[in-house]
Amino acid sequence: MKAELTPGTDWKEQVAADEAERFAGYARQFAAIQARKSKRYGAGRALHRKQITAASGSLQVLDDLPDFARHGLFARPATFDVRVRLSNGGFDRAPDRTPDIRGFAIRVLGVDGDSALGNGPARSQDFTLINQEAFAFPKSGEFVDFALAASAGGGALLKFLLRRYGLFGGPARLLQLVRSVGRPFGGFATETLFSAVPIACGPYAVRVRLVPAGANGVPTPEAKADWGADFSGRLRKHHLQWDLQLQPYVSEALTPIEDASVNWSTPYTTVARLNLPRQDTGSVHGQELATEAEAGVFDPWQALAEHRPLGDVQRARKVVYFESQKGRGAV
């Protein structure tokens, strides 16, 4: 590997003095939206409210990994039970054909080590992935302002964009966001998914990617009326598999910790394989899994200390997600 792409350990978080106060404010704002949406749809999450389906499987950690990867969950070869939850990213239970961020959350069970929250042993190692390689916003504040405006309707969103970015910049930013959310999507079994923000890997920092195996089949954008039926139909016929990969931090210039809008330019390394065996998500067991996933917690801070979430967006999530979990009785 070229010297400028050598994984480094000199990363630093930049924690603002007013973060605790700001993040608590974000949590209250999202809790208000969550409560309003729950009156309409029933109890549920603030974001990623619509669950597409859920499934169970295993994660096989591979042998002979590079030094930067061989920490925490990936310290040694092992196989873990997993649960996955697929979702649409919005506040509403909108039809699947509506352009949206798509979420693929993984809960790895049976892990051994201290919790990233500092409250005893970790209950699981969670990965929350989306179909975007980077966030549309560099930090949490801009995203929160956008989300609040969007939740109030198209008129409020346009006013926000014009006020924030100006007469010419506002429409340009809107077009950029529409293109991002509306990018082609061919189904959860065939899409590459990303953490979009970093986590620790021992003394290193990494982003995470999930790459589907070719045997999962070809993308089916025509299935957009029901992404759950598309995924479940594939899973009834054959097992599905993905490579879980890590992308290392090398320098603040190329792989910034605090700016979530930057695509990191370093190569990925496959460290594990996610396997979902053939199963019927519509069976009694499948419905039990779906109920468990809907009621459960998939949270990047539900993690091993060696995989502590990093950066402004992740630190904001710690506060906002917990408030959301309390709002639906999950904690």
Residue 63: inside a domain: yes
Q: Residue 28's pLDDT band (boundaries 50, 70, 90)? A: very high
164 domain residue, yes or no = no
Q: Which domain holds residue 55?
A: 3-8+50-139+183-311
Predicted TM-score (pTM) of the model is 0.95
Is 77 within a domain?
A: yes
Number of structural domains (the chain) is 1
Identify the pLDDT of residue 161: 85
pLDDT computed for residue 122 by the predictor: 98
Taking the C-alpha atoms of residue 148 and residue 318, their distance in angstroms, rounded to an integer, is 19
State mean pLDDT over 189-215: 98
277 falls within a domain: yes
- Does residue 317 lie within any of the structural domains? no
**CATH code of the domain containing 54:** 2.40.180.10
Residue 1: pLDDT above 60? no
Q: Is residue 260 part of a domain?
A: yes
- Judge whether residue 250 has pLDDT over 80: yes
What Rg value do the Cα atoms of the chain yield, rounded? 19
Q: Is residue 44 part of a domain?
A: no
Please, where are the H alpha helices in the chain? 19-41, 140-151, 154-181, 227-237, 284-295, 312-327
Contact of 191 with 217, CB cutoff 8 Å? no
Q: Tell me, yes or no, whether 304 lies in a domain.
A: yes
Question: pLDDT band for position 205 (50/70/90)?
Answer: very high
Percent with pLDDT over 70 in the chain: 99
AA letter at 309: P
* Banded pLDDT at 98 (limits 50, 70, 90): very high
**Is it the case that residue 330 has pLDDT exceeding 60?**
yes
Those residues whose C-beta lies under 8 Å from the C-beta of residue 209, and which sit 6 or more positions away, are: 129, 192, 193, 194, 195, 244, 245, 246, 247, 268
Pick the range with the lowest mean pLDDT from 97-106, 146-155, 322-331: 146-155
What pLDDT, in 10s, does the model give residues 209-221? 999 999 999 999 9
Give pLDDT, residue 169: 84
Q: How confident is the model at residue 2 (pLDDT cuts 50, 70, 90)?
A: low
Q: Give tens-digit pLDDT for 120-160.
A: 999 999 999 999 999 989 999 999 998 888 888 778 888 88
* Section 256-263 average pLDDT: 97
